[in-house]
Chain A
Amino acid sequence: MSVPEDPLVVSTAVGKHSRGKGLSSNLDVKMGIRKTKILRKEAKIVSGVERAARSEILLVEDSGGIEVDEGEHTLQLKQFDITKKIDIASATKGFHLSLDEFGPYKLRYTNNGRYLVLGGRKGHIAAFDWVTKNLMCEIGVRESVHDVVWLHNENMFAAAQKEWTYIYDNQGIEIHCLKSMDRVINLDFLPYHFLLVGGHQSGYLSWVDVSIGKIVSQFNARSGPVAIMTTNPANAVVHCGHTNGTVSLWAPTVRKSLASILCHGCPLSAVAVDNVGRLMATSGRDGSMRIWDLRNSYTPLLSVKVGISSLLQFSQRGLLAMATSTDAMIFSEVSHKTKPYLKHVANSQISSMQFCPFEDVLGVGTNRGFDSVIVPGAGEPNFDALERNPYQSKGQRCEAEIKGLLEKIQPELITLDNNILGEVDTHAVSSSLDKKPNYVKKKDIQLAHRKKRKNAKLPKIKEGLRTELNLKLAKSEHQTKKREEQSKKTIQMSDDDPLSRFAKKSK
């Protein structure tokens, strides 16, 4: 039977789904049957990757974009120009809410990009379906609101208020008051861990498991108020920007920062991490912006002088939005070659920004309201309905909630390296090997890649000699012990035992 070479499997797609280098047939396993089995499983893994790559043909939606005439540039385009050209349904996604009274607004979209919550500094909180503009709730909390964030779905959101952090439901009814999260100025939510992350005015960081209502961890980061905080969506590590020009990375179970990176020679003004955890953007008070490679060596890929940006945000498809006072500048192809793409000028100072997931929209919260800005090509056009579904029904939402809870990732698994679970604790292996007594022959386990030696047999010979010696030693030890015991016995008989004087004296 011949399945033809798949014309639809793109090699790049295979690369994307690849799980790294597989086993080769020279794996060091003794039994033929086991070896065959292992190799067969390997073949299955490879075929799985191929299947995954092949299934990409089902992602039919294309991402948006702008084509300009020759001689024009996208930077020249304004929202007005864009809305003129696109269909009506899409055009309605660009709008402006004039909210003059309650100060700078923070905003947050749900994970599926359907709902929006706005939190005005002066105590105004509103949640609504931003596509249909159906209001879910609107409340005045009568104290300052520093940040708002949706929890795992649109039924609950948290608001960091003047004193404590509160959790409201979609009706605007206060469900919880988290008194342990006091004076929080930055909030974030880790959907796969069900962790609400708060950065305190006091410099504390806290992680609260909202599924069980417990504080997972809370400690002082020791570098002043956590004013700049973001989470890496790929590994759930919290990135904090500090006034000493460093970005520090935090996980809940490790009290020391996982890493700190000196990014600028001046205080930082904003930090953002892209959707796949590959790039980090930082901007400093000296007006420079830098892009960092997070995966390998924390090397700067790019350094640009763009003015002091107060906010940085990555979109799903990797566009970078940067806010400088009233303007939001959007860059495309963020990496070595960054290009300015669009620019939006708000009517007042920009206080928060977020790209809407699965939509070509950038939400901009300002001092005097909210702008929904159309940015073609920002959102991911294809969504996985089992993962995040913008058109989720109520039943699906319930299902997703339960599934999410069942698949909750434990907080101790938050590490810099996502692949750590696939590793063997070599330290433990070697220590367990060491624990075995000397007279037992050691297993021949290769813990790490061995360097090529001149004499390949040398270590084996050495090991053999060592075990031999050990065995000998053990034997001799045993014998000496025996001898000692015997002699002791005789001595005891002769000296200690008071009845020994009656014993027959051997001649």
Chain B
Amino acid sequence: MSDDEFAEDDGLYDEDGLLKDEGDFRDKSNLINSVHKIFDIKKKGRGAIRHEAVKDVEEFVAVKRRSGPGSSLNKLLESVKQSGEEKTVDKVSKLVKAPSLKSLKTLETPLEKPQALKAKRTVLYENAKRDLSRFNPIVYHNRVADQLVYPLNAGKKALKLSSTERVADSIPMTPLEEEMARVLYGEEYVKQKKAELEKPKGPSDAEAYALSVEEALNMHSEMARLRAQQSYKMAKAKRQNKIKSKKYHRLLRKEKIRKQLKEFEEMQKKDPEGAMLKLEELNKSRVEERMSLKHRNTSKWAKMHAARAKYNKDSRIALSEQLKISKDLTQKVEESDSDDDDLECDIPHLVKSSLDNPWMLRPEVRDSDKLNVYYSGYKKLWEEINEKKDKERKRQEVQTIKNKQHVKKLGDEFQNDNIESEDLLVEDNETDKSGLDPESSAAKSAQERKAEKKKKLRQKQKNNKAKKKIIVPETTTSTTTVVYDNDDPDFTELDLDIMIEEAEDKIKDEAIRKLRKLSKVEKLEKKKSEQQSKRAAKRTKNKSKEMMRGDADEIRDLDVDSAEQLLENVGGETGASLALTSVNGGVGRQINPDKQDTSKVIIDPNNYLKITKKAGGKKAKFDGNGMNKVEFDAFLNNEAASSGEDDDDDDDQRKLIAEAFEDDDVVDEFRLRKEEEIDALKPKDVDLCLPGWGEWGGKGIVPNPKKRKRFLIKAAPLPPRKDAALSHVILNEEVGEKVKEHLVRELPFPFKRVKDYEKTIRAPVGRTWLPEQATKDLVAPRVITRLGAIIEPLDEDVLPKMKGGSLKVPISIKRLARVKKIASK
């Protein structure tokens, strides 16, 4: 494109045709001539007269004539004016609207070539950009698309539906299809689809949503406006949220409260009931807030004491007490299973071990050493107080136990009433034992007793609720019957002493009432049978000792089946020894093999109870004092030993084992091992101190501690161990190097956070873990090309067609035009 063309294109000089022609003046003389021709009046009259035929007719002749109408006319008009005919002058001047001389400005100088080129380039760039940007949405769409199938079908993406979607879209027509749909999506869906089928067809989707371009643009601008407003609002809210000034927030809160108060007052006048409700609500929210853990030590009182705590023992105690109370209050209440209908019997001795297990106790966190120092003083005090309280409690408990024993004595007298029978059997044992050494029993920790008590109570309650007694006639020849007392004692314990005590009282009353009815004869009979059973047990024990040495205590725990077997075996003769051994653990049972014909065997699945009792006792111990680590270790050490000291006198085996492992301090060993492990991994400090450097050296001279400190390079502390809080676990901190080889070692490009990337690779893709369709979706190829098909580049056809010329020009294009203008200047 030449310079001139360019000028023409952009209409730079096309304002006046006359001026345009100036470019044609090539000859200087010509120019002068023509100027003369225009302005010289004398010459003008002559005009260009063709004298003779020439080959080269001067082209400017005609032009000259036409070119100066304005000036010549002016002259004419002036001459007319002089003659005085003004009207004609006006007329003529009106007729001839020629540009005056003033309007004939001189041209601006054309741009220098490089500038002109630059401007041209800019404009070209803008044009090209505008043209190409029309493709932007399509390109974006294609880049984001899950799958592209080439050749692209004239901009229309092949709509791919998964099988389920296709099924869901189809309307069930045949009965079979209906049935299928019912199974797959439910009745509702079928109804809905049927209704759709019956509904007269309205405008199709395309019609319904057809928008003219104008409407679409309007909508677009409306949406943009809304979005902008939303963003302003958000920005404002963000800004306000970020304000940290307390004063501001205080003001804000006050304002809010004031507003609420006002509203409330209004409400009181208008709708008193609603106001009451609101008041309640407010109260409730306040209570909830107070209940939350936020306010444990923020009250004025607590703050005051906290300030004093450093110097004042009393305030320390008060504070800790307060904390304790809050802890107690906020402790999660364990769910109590009191399903009366639940026939399945839990193993009674199952104890929630989080409390039972000493290892749950966390070792003191090292960071809090300062705190420990800080609190150590009042810890002692607290312990003292605890002890006092314990003593008091013990005294009370001893009294209650005495009372209870009284009840128990009464309880011994009755046998058949199943409400009490089993408890009483248990208690029998206890009383026997306590009879042997009452002091030792008194010395039992108070908590233990309490726990026991609770358990018994629970059992009692349970028994009261579920009065179930099953008599299962045996198929064997013997006429013995098994009475299977089915109950479901549960040992989840509630802390609510009051409730328990109430229940206790009730049960006591009931028991006493019932006991009075019982005769003493029964009691005698029972005693006899018990003695007999014990004798039998001893005998069988002696027999079986050699045979089943290691299994004695296992057998002790058999209940129903072993007893059944026993009965069978008594009938038949096979495996008699085994049967006999199975008796030996039965303490809470009455088994009377001698009286086969009439005796009733009461089998109690609760005869694990004594163990439970013990466990419960321990639990209580843990509970009560928050046993520290040393105590716990002692407990563990004793565990083996104590397991032998059951109420069960026959349990030699257990004792034997306990003795065998008494010396092994397993826990201590383990702790040492762990400490070694930790020490081995600890990074060592580097001491660069050179004793004797810059000071006197020699024997007996201690280097300056300041210097030593200065030259000691402390190793960076390791991150906390994973097993820091688990005293019973040693975890290997080092992950195998060989595994690391398989890990991702560099964060791939678009990601900036490791966590984000890890989330994208968290899910498996294979068929082993996912249904077929899901796998296919996940591993679908990005691009599919049909073999042999020609893939054309995108062209105008893919762009949406605009209707006619009624398009509202978007702002961006307007701006573009403006830019162009500026560039042209």
Contacts and interface: CB of A to CB of B under 8 A. Distances in A.
Q: Which residue, A70, A387, A424, has most C-beta atoms of chain B within 10 A?
A: A424
Interface stretch (B2-10, B304-312, B722-730): B722-730
Nearest to B184: A8
B730 A260 contact: yes
B760 A266 contact: no
Nearest to B167: A3
Contact of B752 (A285, A297, A445): A445
Contact of A30 (B164, B725, B750, B773): B750
Contact of A1 (B146, B165, B557, B751): B165
A47 B777 contact: yes
A135 interface: no
B346 A449 contact: no
Contacts of A54: 771
Contact of B666 (A28, A29, A266, A298): A266
Interface stretch (A108-116, A199-207, A319-327): A319-327
A29 B756 contact: yes
Nearest to B749: A34
A6 B189 CA distance: 11
A48 interface: yes
A239 interface: no
A113 to B, nearest CB: 20
Interface string B454-470: 00000000000000111
Interface string A23-67: 100011111011111101110110111011011000000000000
Contact of B360 (A38, A299, A340, A446): A299
Interface in A399-425: 410, 412-413, 415, 419-425
A262 B578 contact: no
A22 B553 contact: no
Given A308-B550, A448-B754, A343 B350 contact: no
Interface stretch (B324-332, B404-412, B734-742): B734-742
B823 interface: no
A286 B657 contact: yes
A68 B104 CA distance: 117
B732 A324 contact: no
A76 B472 contact: yes
Interface in A66-100: 68, 70-76, 78
B144 A48 contact: no
A347 interface: yes
B748 to A, nearest CB: 10
Interface stretch (A121-129, A249-257, A356-364, A373-381): A249-257
A1 B640 contact: no
Interface string B503-524: 0000000000000000000000
Interface of B: 140, 143-144, 146, 164-165, 168-169, 184-186, 188-189, 337, 343-347, 349-354, 356-357, 359-360, 468-470, 472, 484, 486, 548, 550-551, 553-562, 564-565, 575, 578, 605, 608, 611-612, 615, 636-637, 639-640, 643, 654, 657-658, 661, 664, 666-667, 669-670, 673, 723, 725-726, 728-732, 734-736, 738-747, 750-764, 767-771, 773-775, 777-778
B165 A3 contact: yes
30 contacts: A3-B168, A3-B185, A4-B188, A7-B186, A20-B759, A22-B762, A27-B756, A28-B753, A29-B750, A29-B752, A45-B763, A48-B777, A49-B763, A68-B343, A71-B470, A75-B560, A244-B670, A258-B731, A259-B729, A286-B639, A302-B351, A305-B608, A327-B562, A336-B352, A412-B739, A413-B742, A421-B742, A445-B754, A446-B753, A446-B754
Contact of A48 (B548, B578, B753, B778): B778
A275 B565 CA distance: 33
Contacts of A449: 755
- Report, nearest first, the 4 A-B pairs whose CB atoms are least far apart: A48-B774, A307-B554, A412-B738, A324-B554
Range for the number of chain A residues in contact with chain B: 35 or more
Interface in A298-329: 298-309, 324-327
Given A266-B657, A343-B560, 13 more contacts: A28-B753, A36-B144, A73-B484, A259-B723, A259-B729, A259-B730, A286-B639, A287-B643, A305-B643, A307-B556, A309-B554, A325-B554, A415-B739
Nearest to B727: A262
A254 B732 contact: yes
B184 to A, nearest CB: 8
Contact of A253 (B643, B654, B731, B738): B738
A304 B353 CA distance: 9
A290 B352 CA distance: 11
Given A259-B731, A420-B743, A297 B726 contact: yes
B666 A338 contact: no
Given A424-B747, A429-B746, A23 B760 contact: yes
Given A52-B771, A425-B744, A345 B750 contact: no
B353 A446 contact: no
A7, A78, A256, A327 pick with most chain B CB within 10 angstroms: A327
B788 to A, nearest CB: 29
A297 B727 CA distance: 11
Contacts of A48: 763, 770-771, 774-775, 777-778
B347 A340 contact: yes
A4 B562 CA distance: 57
Given A33-B144, A423-B758, A246 B774 contact: no
Interface in A1-25: 1-4, 6-8, 19-23
A286 B486 contact: no
B551 A262 contact: no
A458 interface: no
B750 A31 contact: yes
B344 A4 contact: no
Contacts of A31: 750
B756 A429 contact: no
Contacts of A253: 736, 738-739
Interface in A256-291: 256-267, 285-288, 290
Contacts of B639: 265-266, 286
A51 B163 CA distance: 13
A339 interface: yes
